[in-house]
Amino acid sequence: MKNVVVDPSTGHPRRWGILGVLVFSLLAVVLDNTILNVAMKTIADKTVGLGATQSELEWAINSYTLVFAGLLFTFGVIGDRTGRKRMLFIGMALFGLASLASAYSQDPMQLIFARAAMGIGGAAIMPATLAIISNIFPPGERGKAIGVWAGGVGLAVAIGPITGGLLIERFWWGSVFLINVPIVIISMILIATVVPESRDPKPSRLDPFGVVLSIIGLVAVVYGIIRGGELATVASAEVLVPTLIGLAVLGVFVWWERRIDHPVFDVRNFTNVRFSSAIGMMGIVFFAMMGGMFFLTFYLQVVLGFSPVQAGALMIPFAAAQLIFAPLSQRVHQRFGGKLSATVSMIVVTGALASYAIMDQSTPVLLIEIIFFVQGAAMANIMPPATTAIMESLPREKAGVGSAMSNTVRQVAGALGVAVLGSVLSSSYRGEMAPTLAGLPADAQHAAGESVVATLGLAQELGERGQALIKPAFAAFIDGMHVTALVSAVIALIGVAVVARWMPGKPRPVKHAEQKESVVV
């Protein structure tokens, strides 16, 4: 496609069609994560899955998100320098190949590494989509476009669980990754023929040392947190050493980023109140939400006994609410201002997370569905305005870096949420089950005490003798879920305080002078 001179006051003449291609391209990335949530119970099964432990499941999620987050900035800068369309195309190809590798993994470790490779492709895709949106839409339409983009994410969230359930029930577990391949092929054709090229005329230099520091630091911290959940203690050297090393490396990372003139993660942007409050809100929401989604999968499929398809269908209200309300969120934001709309939405999210602490085996399905819908509606009124605030806090030509920063915080927060809240759940469950498992051999006690899936697996192996383990296992899981839900609600409550204190109010109108400069895309 030939370069087109775009006036920022009017945008690209085919901007809405291009937006459709970008949303479709993002479908594979979002679809994969929501599908994986439904497939976790099957992957944990020793007979039809890989026999993955709870910590291996956490790593299957976090290996993707940590690599994704660690490379977002570098790929954002490379995209700004070499061309965002090019990075989007390459990212889709890498994502498709890694999806094939994930589908045919023979053991949990292979799946973890294949998922990490998927993170490389995802890191090239995500920042390019938002950067292109920022370059083809005028300021007056940018918020609406990001709302549509977020609605597309909601659509992927909606179809992901039920698609995953249908695939799991009809095919083998690897089909949840194989479904990405046709989406990737179609996306690559559309990207090549529809999406225009764009780049930063004054791109930043690369910061490979910063990238290495960030990945080492994050992986070490997350490893320590997950190991703490496995051992049910934070006092062990296996927990403290990697965690402290990770924190020290992250400290060096911050020092390095402040010292150089081309940081991969410019911490100086946090002096901008609008940017830092939006980033903080997004991080807290994803920390609490991703950790909550982790235990909800087992609650729906193991404790309540729903099939993968049924569990996927139960998640539709959450995603449908995002699909409905995300495109409308910008109107709410403009009418009431970011502070009021985000504060109310955060309060609703906090209440929804706290409500999981009252759920048990007798909770009506209708009540669960209502809570999912309310939480999804609140999330829809948080993410698009926060993303818009982040993107508009930085110069337009730095759109790739801005997108990378918002997505990095979101992914890191989500990874930490799975690690921390997953460890809280694991520690609580192990402590509750210890008396019940006391008569078993030490190895069996440790394996069965890690998760409710492991306990039920042992119960099945023991036959009639194992039936006595089922009721205590459900009770221990529900108690652990209640503790985890309350922890996530407290974290979300911190988000309420952050937003109420620092989030700016109504957005200022865009001045005509800000729309004059033309950009070639």
Enumerate residues 6+ apart whose C-beta is below 8 A from 293.
37
* Token digits of residue 97: 């190949």
- The sign one gets for the Cα dihedral 292, 295, 299, 300 is positive
Q: Does the pTM of the predicted model rise above 0.75?
A: no
Q: Under DSSP, is residue 519 helix (H, G, I), strand (E, B) or coil?
A: strand
Q: Which of 495, 506, 75 is nearest to 289 (CA)?
A: 495
**Residue linked to tokens 């990238």:** 211
Burial-class residue 395 by CB neighbours within 10 Å (0-12, 13-18, 19+).
Answer: exposed
Burial per residue of 297-325, b for 16 or more beta-carbon CB atoms within 10 angstroms, e otherwise: bbbbbbbbebebbbbbbbbbbbbbbbbeb
pLDDT at 196: 83
Count CB-CB contacts under 10 A for residue 261.
7
Q: Is 307 left (phi over 0), alpha (psi -120 to 50) or beta?
A: beta
Enumerate residues 6+ apart whose C-beta is below 8 A from 267.
254, 257, 258
pLDDT at 245: 93
pLDDT at 232: 61
* Token digits of residue 253: 């990372």
Q: Which of 416, 481, 422 is nearest to 450 (CA)?
A: 422
- Enumerate helices (H) and strands (E) in the chain, giving the number of each: 20, 2
pLDDT at 92: 92
pLDDT at 110: 92
Report yes or no: 468 and 483 within 8 Å, Cβ to Cβ: no
How high is the mean pLDDT in each 10-residue block of the chain (521 residues)?
A: 52 79 81 72 80 78 76 76 86 93 90 91 81 77 72 68 79 86 91 82 74 81 73 75 90 88 73 77 80 78 82 80 76 76 88 91 91 88 72 62 67 74 82 80 72 77 77 88 90 84 62 42 40
Compute the distance between CA of residue 375 and CA of residue 363 in angstroms, rounded to an integer. Answer: 17
Query: Cα angle at 446 between 470 and 459, to 5 degrees?
Result: 25
